[in-house]
Amino acid sequence: MKKSIFTFSLLAASITMMAQQNDIPKFPEWDPKPKMHVVPPEYYKEHAVILLENEKRDYKYEGTGLTLYTTKHRIIKVLDRKGIEDFNQIDIPFERNRSRVDSVKARTILPDGTVRDLKYEMLYIGGGGLFFALDGVEKNAEIEVMIKYKAVSSFFGSVQFQHSLPVLNTYFELNYPKELTFNTKGYHGFPSGSEQAAGGHKQVKIYKANIPALEKQPFSYYDVYCMRLDYALDHYTTRGGYNNSEPYTWDKLAQTLYQENYRFTESDKKAVNKFLTSIGIRGIETDRQKIKMIENGIKTEIVQYWELSGKKDAENIDSVISKKSASATGIIKLFCACFRMAGVQHELGVVSDRREHLLDTKFINWAPLTNYVFYFPGEGGYLAPDEPFFRYPEIPSTMLNNKGVFCKTNPEAAFNIGKDLTEGEAIIRSITPLETGNTRNSLEVAIKLDKDMDPALDLTYSYTGYAAGEYRKTLAVTPKQKRKEMVEEMIGVLDNPEDLKSFTIVNEGLSNVYAQKPLILNATVKAPHLIEKAGNRYLVRIGEAIGKQPNLYGKEERILPIDVNYPHSQVHTITMDVPNGYKIKNLQALNMHEEHDEKDNATTTAYFDAGYKLNGNRLTVTLRESYTQLHYAITEYEEFRRVVNAAADFNKVTLVLEPTAKAKPAKKAKANKATANKATPAKRA
């Protein structure tokens, strides 16, 4: 994601280190006569470089509140054809539902000095930000973009400054009234900055030169390792200088969660009791039964619409129950009311997306904590209230292996909510995943050879646990006309899309989620590429029957740690009847094993194992693969890599079928029919 603004210095010396204040180059906000910039020789091999990244945030009093104004300014120099292709379209993410764009400027500056300004029809504002296409971009051209927008004020934020391209000059500026006090903290090498007075207001200004490119690597969450700056309000005073506020703390966040979600009117209580009765709760159930019944009742009967955000009726519990529709806030409040009225001990919490942020308990920044989650002390499990395709105790993998801030509640007594004091206690909890065996991905492949040795495959995929929730969520947002394409990607064994002859998806609906039935995909495919005739022998590419597997074959230096979505195991079986008159020459090729053991306690945290049984002419191959951790340090990379590549190496296994002494080779009448318009088998071999 590109979340930045850019600036470049003509003085190469000033960009080789963190400059002193007087040495920091100054640039106009939008030069009416832009000049081309010189790129230092060490960047000549890059496809493009970010010359300038500049972000300015200004808090200003307007009326009775504060408004946040943001300016993003960015200059990119493209150096070759790939750079041109990468930046023909530019996107600048921002929260459209919380922001209003005041102005957009964009232009291409060609090497000969020609300036081409953005045309209005090239601009598109979508749900995730601003997008536009540029024409006439050529080698050594520069693309300059500036966007100004106004947003609903938030006292917490996070800005990412590192990308897959080097950034020569980075600027950040935070301006705010003198009544406010902010803290800032840089991560992964970005400076933290410090607050200073500036002509009647306060500000934080940071300049950083030469941020190196950070390439994305497989099996890793890129954004969380990039240089970034977090900022957070510590405390404030009123504009008159009175009533010095207490610092913003985790306890204050817990109090806020409580105040926003646990204030119920008598009408609310009456409606909730009626709702609990309607979903079958009588008060004699165990906590686990109540949790599951409440979750299923809300997630199947109340529809959440993001369009209702901010609308009072969509947050009012009485209205939510009667209209059976709610905003995300309304859903959270209904869960809180149901658990409170049903007497279920619980804690409401918030957690960040671990792909982007991991909670830093020492720096109090509320901004990344955007996902709601419940914890049940008596049960030890977690529930995701606004995720309809997950059921307790399964939650989205983005919440796992992270820490969340929870508000301690007691269903028998409310906190003391007075005019001046709200008592609340924050609890920081580590959100641990379920055991590895809870999430199992299985594949059964039956290879069927007809009389002409043309193979067809019957495939059965089965997903449980976290994997089932992820796939169900994807299926729910995939249009019916696009489902075949999605299935083709899931299968992975297809050589041509037309080889997919049929498929069915079983246990897809919400009732199956509640019952925690596995999500099943059945498919029948033709796979002519799995068989090749070689003289009087046949080569069976049995390893390709399970579809392409991820790998870590690359030789580049590993920079980022390893992240796995969730602990899981995989068991795949392949069956094939060896044709009469043939035998398999190299069965030993099916035996493979690799594992990674934790050095401290000798526990196996990742392994791959392949083996076979031959019973008469029925060959059964069994593959087992498991990953018990979500995070592996750089020091474990080589061992982890061997396990992943062992699974990928199975794709290369080819069995040799050779005739027995009395065998008559089958006629391959249709040998090349399925491979028309392709290389001949001999050439492919």
Q: In the chain, what are the domain boundaries? A: 12-234, 250-431, 436-684
Which of 107-111, 423-427, 451-455 bottoms out in mean pLDDT, i.e. has the lowest? 423-427
- pLDDT at residue 121, rounded to an integer: 61
pLDDT, tens digit (0-9, with 9 covering 90-100), for 616-645: 999 999 999 999 999 999 999 999 999 999
Q: Note the pTM of the prediction, 2 decimals.
A: 0.86
Which of 6-10, 215-219, 414-418, 603-607 bottoms out in mean pLDDT, i.e. has the lowest? 6-10
Q: What is the DSSP string of 442-460?
A: EEEEEEEE-TT--EEEEEE
- pLDDT at residue 662, rounded to an integer: 58
Of the candidates 143, 132, 153, 142, the one whose C-alpha atom is nearest the C-alpha of residue 65 is 153
Per-residue confidence at 6, pLDDT binned at 50, 70, 90? very low
Interior/surface letters 136-156, b for 16+ CB within 10 angstroms, e for the rest:
ebeeebbbbbbbbbbeeeebb
CB atoms within 10 A of CB 560: 18
Tell me how far apart the alpha carbons of residues 178 and 11 are, in angstroms, rounded to a whole number.
Answer: 35
Fill in the amino acid letter for 201.
Answer: H
**Mean per-residue pLDDT, 116-144:** 76
**Mean per-residue pLDDT, 163-179:** 95
- pLDDT at residue 242, rounded to an integer: 53
The phi-psi region of residue 498 (left if phi > 0; otherwise alpha if psi is between -120 and 50; otherwise beta) is alpha
**Mean per-residue pLDDT, 159-180:** 95
Q: Are 493 and 545 in contact (CB under 8 A)?
A: yes
Token pair 């593959």 is found at 623
User: For the domain with range 250-431, which CATH number is right: 3.30.565.10, 3.10.620.30, 3.40.50.720, 3.40.950.10?
Assistant: 3.10.620.30
Fold classification of 436-684 is Jelly Rolls (2.60.120)
Per-residue confidence at 110, pLDDT binned at 50, 70, 90? very high
**Mean per-residue pLDDT, 386-401:** 94
pLDDT, tens digit (0-9, with 9 covering 90-100), for 230-243: 999 998 887 655 55
Tell me how far apart the alpha carbons of residues 129 and 262 are, in angstroms, rounded to a whole number.
Answer: 34
Of the candidates 46, 50, 214, 81, the one whose C-alpha atom is nearest the C-alpha of residue 144 is 50
Tell me how far apart the alpha carbons of residues 401 and 354 are, in angstroms, rounded to a whole number.
Answer: 8
- pLDDT at residue 132, rounded to an integer: 75
Fill in the amino acid letter for 53.
Answer: E
Of the candidates 43, 28, 71, the one whose C-alpha atom is nearest the C-alpha of residue 209 is 43
Of the candidates 447, 428, 639, the one whose C-alpha atom is nearest the C-alpha of residue 528 is 447
Is residue 488's pLDDT more than 50? yes
- Determine what percent of the chain is predicted with pLDDT higher than 70: 86
Element spanning 323, H or E: helix 317-323
Of the candidates 376, 419, 414, 417, the one whose C-alpha atom is nearest the C-alpha of residue 395 is 376
Token pair 């969380």 is found at 224
- pLDDT at residue 423, rounded to an integer: 59
Which of 3-12, 36-45, 471-480 bottoms out in mean pLDDT, i.e. has the lowest? 3-12
Apex 526 CA angle, 521 and 531, nearest 5: 125
Interior/surface letters 181-219, b for 16+ CB within 10 angstroms, e for the rest:
bbbbbbbeebbebebeeeeeebbbbbbbbbbeebeebeb
Is residue 93's pLDDT more than 90? no
Per-residue confidence at 664, pLDDT binned at 50, 70, 90? low
Per-residue confidence at 124, pLDDT binned at 50, 70, 90? low
Helix, strand, coil share (%) of the chain residues, nearest 5: 25, 35, 40
- pLDDT at residue 128, rounded to an integer: 59
> Looking at per-residue confidence, does 147 or 19 come out higher?
147
**Mean per-residue pLDDT, 437-453:** 94
Tell me how far apart the alpha carbons of residues 137 and 78 are, in angstroms, rounded to a whole number.
Answer: 8
Q: Are 409 and 384 in contact (CB under 8 A)?
A: no
- pLDDT at residue 593, rounded to an integer: 97
Q: Are 66 and 121 in contact (CB under 8 A)?
A: no
User: What class is the 12-234 domain?
Assistant: mainly beta
**What are the E-state strand segments in 273-338?**
303-304, 325-326
Tell me how far apart the alpha carbons of residues 348 and 368 are, in angstroms, rounded to a whole number.
Answer: 16
Is residue 459's pLDDT more than 80? yes
CA 233 to chain centroid: 27
Per-residue confidence at 13, pLDDT binned at 50, 70, 90? very low
- pLDDT at residue 411, rounded to an integer: 58
Distances from the Cα of 285 to the Cα of 110, 219, 676, angstroms? 72, 43, 64
pLDDT, tens digit (0-9, with 9 covering 90-100), for 521-531: 999 999 999 99
pLDDT, tens digit (0-9, with 9 covering 90-100), for 253-304: 998 999 899 889 999 999 999 999 999 999 999 999 999 999 999 999 998 8
Of the candidates 611, 652, 646, the one whose C-alpha atom is nearest the C-alpha of residue 627 is 646
**Mean per-residue pLDDT, 417-446:** 81
Is residue 417's pLDDT more than 50? no
> Looking at per-residue confidence, does 16 or 409 come out higher?
409
For 344, list phi and psi in degrees, rounded to 5.
-90, 120
Q: What is the DSSP string of 403-466?
A: EEEEEE-BTTB---B-SS-B---EEEEEEPPPPGGGSEEEEEEEEEE-TT--EEEEEEEEE-HH
pLDDT, tens digit (0-9, with 9 covering 90-100), for 176-226: 999 999 999 999 999 999 999 998 899 999 999 999 999 999 999 999 999
SS3 385: coil
User: What DSSP designation does 175 have?
Assistant: E
- pLDDT at residue 127, rounded to an integer: 56
Which of 120-124, 319-323, 372-376, 563-567 bottoms out in mean pLDDT, i.e. has the lowest? 120-124
Tell me how far apart the alpha carbons of residues 533 and 13 are, in angstroms, rounded to a whole number.
Answer: 65
- pLDDT at residue 684, rounded to an integer: 33
Of the candidates 574, 512, 229, 565, the one whose C-alpha atom is nearest the C-alpha of residue 388 is 512
Is residue 564's pLDDT more than 90? yes
- pLDDT at residue 22, rounded to an integer: 54
Fill in the amino acid letter for 508.
Answer: E
- Structure tokens that stand for 455 in this block: 């193979």
Distances from the Cα of 161 to the Cα of 20, 188, 600, 649, angstroms? 20, 10, 36, 38
- pLDDT at residue 621, rounded to an integer: 98
- Structure tokens that stand for 91 in this block: 């996107």
pLDDT, tens digit (0-9, with 9 covering 90-100), for 565-576: 999 999 999 999
> Looking at per-residue confidence, does 133 or 74 come out higher?
74
Which of 2-16, 78-92, 294-308, 383-397 bottoms out in mean pLDDT, i.e. has the lowest? 2-16
- pLDDT at residue 103, rounded to an integer: 85
**Mean per-residue pLDDT, 344-373:** 96
SS3 472: helix
Cα distance between the two ends of the chain = 41
pLDDT, tens digit (0-9, with 9 covering 90-100), for 587-610: 999 999 999 998 767 789 999 999
Residue 678 burial (C-beta neighbours within 10 Å; 0-12, 13-18, 19+):
middle
**Mean per-residue pLDDT, 64-83:** 91
- pLDDT at residue 241, rounded to an integer: 52
- Mean pLDDT score of the chain: 86
